[in-house]
């Protein structure tokens, strides 16, 4: 194990022998760190916190801190970080609350850029990118391979669907449907298109992209249809496709409502 002599590592922390800990970092009680993970200089990791393998945690990041919730009274909730993630400088990720399920969870292969904040009880799936200074409020859920633009903020309990792309400086107060490109201020969020570039880069076939696009046209470009009528029409005409079925399930399960407004050119 390569621990710099100026680092402070609790005897109640469990680090794999291959873990590297840089100068002046602090690793507290209840922290578990897996093989191949590198902790840079001046990092603070508080427990309970489970960190997987081959992560890179850059300088001045703060992981596992107590949730910013007035109802939190010191319960042993936790932060769980998967494998192959890169947490950049000054990022902060808080552990969960009892009322939120007790866990904040970050998946695998995520990039959390500098000064980003992930609040208590957030669920971040695999291959997510959180860009510089984006702030996710408590209980936010982000689907796999979504991108949250810089300086974006989310309302508590917001959901961001898989492959969604949120433009920088946005204020998310409603759920962002899968595959959408959205941007806008609070109450003025709008869909600017389908994230076709992201879909193509990740191997979606032309047929699948075409079906998703057709579903979007019915759902968001058919003002003559009521909400449930549009959902039923998509299910009838395009159902049986995993991606379309997932889109429908996301919208139907929304409690905050989804972004629907289309940017007019």
Buried b (16+ CB within 10 A) or exposed e, 90-113: bbbbbbbbeebebbbbbbbbbbbb
> How far apart, in whole angstroms, are the C-alpha atoms of residue 126 and residue 107?
5
152: number of Cβ within 10 Å: 24
Catalytic residue among 58, 69, 121, 175: 121
**Is 126 noted as a catalytic residue in this protein?**
no
Give the contacts of 83 (CB within 8 A, at least 6 positions apart).
34, 52, 53, 54, 55, 108, 109
**Is 227 noted as a catalytic residue in this protein?**
no
Catalytic residue among 47, 82, 107, 138: 138
> How far apart, in whole angstroms, are the C-alpha atoms of residue 82 and residue 101?
18
Whether the Cβ atoms of residue 32 and residue 14 lie closer than 8 Å to each other: yes
Pairing between β-strand 78-81 and β-strand 103-106 as defined by DSSP bridges = parallel
> How far apart, in whole angstroms, are the C-alpha atoms of residue 201 and residue 205?
10
**Is 138 noted as a catalytic residue in this protein?**
yes
Catalytic residue among 117, 120, 139, 190: 120
Q: Which long-range contacts (CB under 8 A, 24 or more apart) does 24-27 make?
A: none
Buried b (16+ CB within 10 A) or exposed e, 3-27: beeebebeeebebeeebbbbebbbb
Provide the annotated active-site residues: 120-121, 138
């Amino acid at each position: 194990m390569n621990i710099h002599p100026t680092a402070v590592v609790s005897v109640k922390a469990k680090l794999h022998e291959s873990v590297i800990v840089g100068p002046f970092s602090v690793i507290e009680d209840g922290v578990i760190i897996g093989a191949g993970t590198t902790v840079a200089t001046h990092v603070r990791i508080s427990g309970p916190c489970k960190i997987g393998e081959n992560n890179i945690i850059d300088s001045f990041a703060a992981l596992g801190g107590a949730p910013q919730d007035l109802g939190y009274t010191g319960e042993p909730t936790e932060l769980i970080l998967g494998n192959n993630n890169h947490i950049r400088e000054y990022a902060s990720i808080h552990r969960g609350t009892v009322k939120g399920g007790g866990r904040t969870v970050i998946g695998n292969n995520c990039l959390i850029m500098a000064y980003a904040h992930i609040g208590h009880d957030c669920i971040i799936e695999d291959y997510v990118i959180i860009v510089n200074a984006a702030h996710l409020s408590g209980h936010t859920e982000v689907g796999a391979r979504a991108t949250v633009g810089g300086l974006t903020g989310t309302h508590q309990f917001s959901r961001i669907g898989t492959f969604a792309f949120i433009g920088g400086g946005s204020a998310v107060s409603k759920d962002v449907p899968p595959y959408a490109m959205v941007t806008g201020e609070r109450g003025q969020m709008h869909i600017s298109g389908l994230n076709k570039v992201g879909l193509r880069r990740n191997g979606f076939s032309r047929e699948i992209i075409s079906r998703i696009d057709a579903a979007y046209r019915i759902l968001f470009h058919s003002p003559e249809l009521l909400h449930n009528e549009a959902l039923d029409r998509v299910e009838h005409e395009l159902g049986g496709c995993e991606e379309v079925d997932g889109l429908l399930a996301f919208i139907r399960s929304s409690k905050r409502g989804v972004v629907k407004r289309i940017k007019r050119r």
